[in-house]
């Protein structure tokens, strides 16, 4: 069964997490300049969102190395590339760095029946994202043994139905093997789940699961307003 | 007992440690500009402190990568977010970076009867904070075994009644599992306690306990004055 | 056989991967200034490309720490050096950092009959590059044992004929032992291959295989346009 | 004996190592501006040195991440804090970063009769400083076993009487457990000692002993002159 | 024999490797300004080279984190310090960072008869430098066992007579134990040697051997011209 699932391929979508860190000097610019910079950022996003999944999140208050996160999904890498070319031309990105970036692909899991190949946006108020790498000892286990261990892991997750998993795959594409993401409306329950998962057998094979980002889901307009506290007037909201 | 305690949830508060590193160029600005920048920072804090726990600390003289630390506690993430949105609009934050940031939640310990879910400020003159990660070997131990080992750890702590623990939980929310914090009026006793704890059985399961911050508790007015040596005139102190 | 292959030397070419990160401030310059800066960059590349392999790639949309990658191949280090001297004089490099750099040499593999000593450009639409270090346990194995293990690895690779390997050697020349590179037109197939290779015996001896770069092959003109979204008028394309 | 010694507390002094990295742009300022900046730095130091141990060192020529080091000793943290508040107001610190910082306390060793609780300045021409962390396996050993192992370590040190140890304690106060410092007039002998100590049993329990700083002891005036090569006229030397 | 050799001391010279990273903004300055900046750098070097070994290398084209490397040798640390004080006053260093720095001392090896205590310049066209740290397991071996293992290592090196070793010692002086350096006229042969050495028994005790720098030996004039492509008129070449 294992080889068969591995061989199952596309059409699989690309998922890109882009974390933006704004230069503090940008907040010292004139309000009018900042509004224009944000409007250009919105225009770039609206262009891409017409036909593609695009979601925005704020990290103001949860971390110090990013203030905004965009989740962009497309059918190929070229479309992801084009979106970021346009985004880079916005005034806001001329004062920003992409402090973290995770590129993944949707792919069905060999341990689960869930269909993970289709685009699926986050619905929860809070999204948690981290890059994930397993030990080589894990991959040296027989496929059946890995399957058995993962069932215990998945069963714990099922006890927390309010937390939804959105893992994508990055093998060879980026510095991690998986981009693990969860969304929920209840942060405390998510914290309890992660603490509980530490005791599963699968947990022992984790090599890296940081940095771990807590993101607040909100409209792009609100996420941009959170950068400098000033509202932008939108022709069309996202 | 273990699953029962894990399942015990909210209302649990969020606790945010925000470490601020001021650009040296800010200290080259005119005194009047700097005073205005600090007054805006104070205003943001006063707004939040009306109804929430907010404490301020100086790190001038104890480290090189942060000068100020704010501890903010709120009933949900959105209130923490809103506070930092307002804070970022202050003149001071337009010249600063958040060089370190720890997000935690209050949660009762499975190893102690102490109620840790309610807001509780630091009372000591000195506060010590560090992110904490335990090994996966720890979590693979049976709950009873972990309970036994932690009792030895806790008993050592009880021999130092002048040192108070304020640990919060970060599983899945941030890069660490716990934000460990202590306060005391006697730094030497705290150092002795930490050295003593190295010999406990629990200590062997530590993976990460740095960076470790020594913070001096003081009014926000004093902590801000420590940035450039100049006093601000406050309408109302925090 | 092992010493004999090791002793096989030149003429072996040098291969240089140069990843360019443009200062966001550059995108705030006048369009005319930026066009001139890019034309100078193109001129430097055209000069080198006359007689040498030079390929260009964009990383806009795949990472945050580089926007452009150049692959330059030459018969000696001095020619690689001269190219970068000229390149550094271009306006674009006066606003850029080389955020990552990998220097390698072509060399025949002791595990394969493939001739890897001659210049060979990437043909695929997508190129994946990462620095690679194996454990000292690997090198402590007998040559025959390493040969056996690598055959299993190579056989898996052969099941994915659409993915082509371009590994070069860096022992003592740079921070890694190998610069591993693949090209393909099908990203999903490459991801499947890398995930599959995790289960080979050879995989257990990996110490480092990050950062891992996903690069989009394109003309230098297009790769430069991706930096600021504005086309340059070329006298001669590469 | 072990618990008894651990319980032995204050009055213990604080020792602060502050490493200063000057912005290259400062050296581009007018000579008069630089002289004023240095005079303010001197004034801050003279104020503290009146009643406290303060020593200055240059790192120009030994490292790239710091040019100046100040060793400040005081009876409590508040006095260390006040000193750095005043220091930060000097013109020089408005163009500098504290690139490394180590906070320690004097404390008697459980392995030696030497009294380490009293202030004691460096007398050698060269000072070597590094943060030190031991493995948790070390602390899991019985006290008597640690005592035995340390005697072997100390005996090697006694064969090099020209090298003097100034270790202080940082458990819980900073990122390291100890700030290890040595002074000597003969660098080569110190190097021989450190190489020799690698073969002691104690050495196997080292987890971290870097970064390691070679510092040249000199008057504050000379250490500041080394920053830009220009002498300052002092009313009173330190 | 081992203690006897360890006890063998000076007169041993200091060897300093200084890697310079020029701010890209410097290349945007007027040509006349840049020429003056380079001439001041040359003057500082000529002053030191009168009586001391000083060699210059370019890293343009081989790495991204340094463009120039100076090797300076002197009879004591104070002379190394003085040289860098003067060097820092040059216009070029006012726009540069010392991105890497290795401080070592000459010292005879306990494993070889070669006299390594006297100054000896690099003669090859290419120089390779890296900081080197061995495991504590290595130092726990009996001296005779280490001697045996090193003979195997040295014998492999002898099969490559075109590669010359220039290792110096840094125990306690810097972050590494050794600064390993080789020179050769044939890069490929050096690469083959390093790959071959991976299979020696000694290799298993390596903890760190990066970053690894490939440097092109050239006159100071040429190395400086490589920074901005423009020649300086020298009164006297080095």
CA of A187, closest CA in chain C: separation in Å?
A: 28
Instruction: Compute the distance between CA of residue C88 and CA of residue C70 in angstroms, rounded to an integer.
Output: 13
Sequence-ordered list of residues with C-beta below 8 angstroms from that of E212, at least 6 positions apart, any chain:
C172, C173, C174, C175, E128, E129, E130
Chains touching chain E, criterion 3+ CB pairs below 8 Å: C, D
pLDDT of residue A232: 86
Judge whether B166 is closer than 8 Å to chain A, CB to CB: no
Closest partner CB to A216 (pick from B81, B101, B175): B81
Q: Which residues of C touch A171 (CB under 8 A)?
A: 191-192, 194-195, 198
pLDDT of residue B179: 98
Number of helices followed by number of strands (H, E) in chain C: 7, 10
User: Residue for token digits 């932008």?
Assistant: A232
Could you tell me if the ipTM is greater than 0.95?
A: no
A187, two tokens = 């942060």
If you ran DSSP here, which 8-state letter would residue B62 be given?
T
C19, two tokens = 């990843």
Q: What percent of chain C has pLDDT over 70?
A: 92
User: Residue for token digits 């202030």?
Assistant: D119
Sequence-ordered list of residues with C-beta below 8 angstroms from that of C34, at least 6 positions apart, any chain:
C26, C27, C228, C230
* Residue among C4, C90, C144, C172 with most chain E CBs within 10 A, to mutate: C172
Instruction: For chains D and B, tell me whether 3 or more CB atom pairs sit within 8 A of each other.
Output: yes
Least confident range from A228-237, C73-82, D32-41: namely: A228-237
Q: Give tens-digit pLDDT for C95-129.
A: 999 999 999 999 988 888 777 767 789 999 999 99
Q: Give tens-digit pLDDT for C190-220.
A: 999 999 999 999 999 999 999 999 999 999 9
pLDDT of residue D10: 46
- Give the chain D residue nearest B225 (alpha carbons): D85
Mean pLDDT of A68-79: 97
| Beta-carbon separation of C60 and A84 below 8 A | yes
The rounded mean pLDDT for chain A is 92
Judge whether E233 is closer than 8 Å to chain C, CB to CB: no
* Residue among A173, A176, A213 with most chain C CBs within 10 A, to mutate: A173
Judge whether C164 is closer than 8 Å to chain A, CB to CB: no
CA of C219, closest CA in chain E: separation in Å?
A: 22
Q: Give tens-digit pLDDT for A199-224.
A: 999 999 999 999 999 999 999 999 99
pLDDT of residue B1: 28
Collapsing DSSP to helix, strand or coil, C20 comes out as strand
- The answer to whether E20 touches E96, Cβ cutoff 8 Å, is yes
| Beta-carbon separation of C195 and A174 below 8 A | no
How open is the CA angle B45-B48-B53, to the nearest 5 degrees? 100
Collapsing DSSP to helix, strand or coil, B50 comes out as coil
Q: Which residues of C touch E193 (CB under 8 A)?
A: 172
* Torsion sign, CA atoms B197, B199, B205, B206: positive
User: Residue for token digits 């830009």?
Assistant: D228
Mean pLDDT of D125-131: 98
| Beta-carbon separation of B139 and A203 below 8 A | yes
Mean pLDDT of A186-211: 98
Q: What percent of chain A has pLDDT over 70?
A: 92
Judge whether D235 is closer than 8 Å to chain B, CB to CB: no
pLDDT of residue E27: 98
pLDDT of residue D11: 77
| Beta-carbon separation of E175 and D62 below 8 A | no
**What confidence category does residue A237 fall into, taking pLDDT thresholds of 50, 70 and 90?**
very low
Helix axes C31-49, C220-228, angle to 10 degrees: 160
Q: How far is CA B215 from the centre of its chain?
A: 9
| Beta-carbon separation of D77 and B62 below 8 A | yes
Pick from B71, B51, B68: which is nearest to B59 by CA? B68
Closest partner CB to D27 (pick from E94, E169, E170): E94
Closest partner CB to C85 (pick from E186, E194, E226): E226
pLDDT of residue B9: 42
Q: Cis omega (within 30 of 0) on the bond before B220?
A: no
| Beta-carbon separation of D97 and B194 below 8 A | no
pLDDT of residue B7: 38
Buried b (16+ CB within 10 A) or exposed e, C156-195: ebeebeebbebbbbbbbbbbbbbbbbbbbebbbbbbbbbb
Concatenate the DSSP letters of all residues of C104-137 into one string.
Answer: EE----TT-----SS-----SSEEEEEEEEE-HH
Judge whether E167 is closer than 8 Å to chain C, CB to CB: no
Instruction: Compute the distance between CA of residue D12 and CA of residue D119 in angstroms, rounded to an integer.
Output: 9
| Beta-carbon separation of A103 and C203 below 8 A | no
Regions of chain B short of the pLDDT cut 70: 1-10, 117, 233-238
Q: How far is CA C20 from the centre of its chain?
A: 13
* Torsion sign, CA atoms A214, A216, A219, A220: negative
Judged by phi (left if over 0) then psi (alpha if -120 to 50, else beta), residue B83 lies in alpha
**What confidence category does residue A5 fall into, taking pLDDT thresholds of 50, 70 and 90?**
very low
Instruction: Compute the distance between CA of residue E174 and CA of residue D190 in angstroms, rounded to an integer.
Output: 12
- The answer to whether C76 touches E186, Cβ cutoff 8 Å, is no
- The answer to whether A80 touches A101, Cβ cutoff 8 Å, is no
Instruction: Compute the distance between CA of residue A200 and CA of residue E228 in angstroms, rounded to an integer.
Output: 58
Q: Which residues of E touch C40 (CB under 8 A)?
A: none
Pick from A161, E14, A81, D215: which is nearest to C225 by CA? A81
How open is the CA angle C174-C179-C183, to the nearest 5 degrees? 155
Q: How many CB atoms lie within 10 A of CB D211?
A: 16
C98, two tokens = 């080389």
Q: Which residues of A touch C180 (CB under 8 A)?
A: none
User: Please, is B147 exposed, middle or buried when counting C-beta atoms within 10 Å of its C-beta (0-12, 13-18, 19+)?
Assistant: middle
Instruction: Compute the distance between CA of residue A20 and CA of residue A67 in angstroms, rounded to an integer.
Output: 6
D42, two tokens = 């001197």
- The answer to whether D74 touches E98, Cβ cutoff 8 Å, is no
CA of A29, closest CA in chain C: separation in Å?
A: 14
Concatenate the DSSP letters of all residues of E65-133 into one string.
Answer: S-SEEEEEEESSHHHHHHHHHHHHTSTGGGGEEEEEEEEEE----TT-----SS-----SSEEEEEEEE
pLDDT tens, chain E, 238 aa long: 233 343 344 479 999 999 999 999 999 999 999 999 999 999 999 999 999 999 999 999 999 999 999 999 999 999 999 999 999 999 999 999 999 999 999 998 888 877 776 778 999 999 999 999 999 999 999 999 999 999 999 999 999 999 999 999 999 999 999 999 999 999 999 999 999 999 999 999 999 999 999 999 999 999 999 999 999 866 544 4
Between strands D178-184 and D96-105, the pairing is: unpaired
Least confident range from B6-10, C223-227, D101-105: namely: B6-10
The torsion angles phi and psi of E157, rounded to 5 degrees, stand at: -55, -35
Beta strands in B42-172 (DSSP E): 54-58, 68-74, 96-105, 126-134, 164-165, 168-169
Pick from A162, A177, E63, D77: which is nearest to B214 by CA? D77
């Amino acid at each position: 069964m294992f080889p068969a699932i591995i061989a199952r391929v596309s059409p699989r979508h690309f998922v890109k997490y882009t974390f933006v860190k704004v230069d503090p000097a940008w907040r010292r610019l004139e309000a009018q300049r900042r509004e224009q910079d944000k409007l250009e950022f919105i225009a770039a996003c609206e262009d891409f969102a017409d036909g593609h999944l695009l979601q925005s999140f704020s990290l103001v208050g949860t971390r110090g190395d990013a203030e905004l996160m965009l989740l962009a999904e497309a059918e190929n890498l070229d479309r992801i590339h084009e979106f970021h070319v346009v985004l880079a031309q916005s005034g806001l990105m001329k004062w920003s760095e992409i402090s973290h970036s995770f590129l993944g692909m949707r792919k069905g899991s060999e341990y689960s029946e869930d269909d993970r190949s289709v685009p699926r946006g986050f619905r929860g108020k809070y999204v948690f994202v981290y890059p994930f790498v397993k030990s080589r000892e894990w991959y040296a286990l027989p496929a059946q043994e890995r399957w058995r261990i993962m069932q215990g892991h998945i069963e714990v997750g099922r006890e927390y139905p309010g937390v939804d998993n959105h893992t994508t795959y990055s093998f060879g594409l980026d510095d991690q093997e998986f981009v693990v993401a969860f969304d929920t409306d209840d942060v405390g329950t998510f914290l309890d789940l992660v603490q509980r998962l530490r005791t599963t057998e699968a947990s022992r094979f984790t090599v890296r699961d940081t940095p771990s980002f807590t993101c607040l889901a909100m409209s792009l307009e609100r996420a941009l307003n959170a950068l400098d506290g000033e509202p932008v007037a939108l022709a069309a909201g996202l």
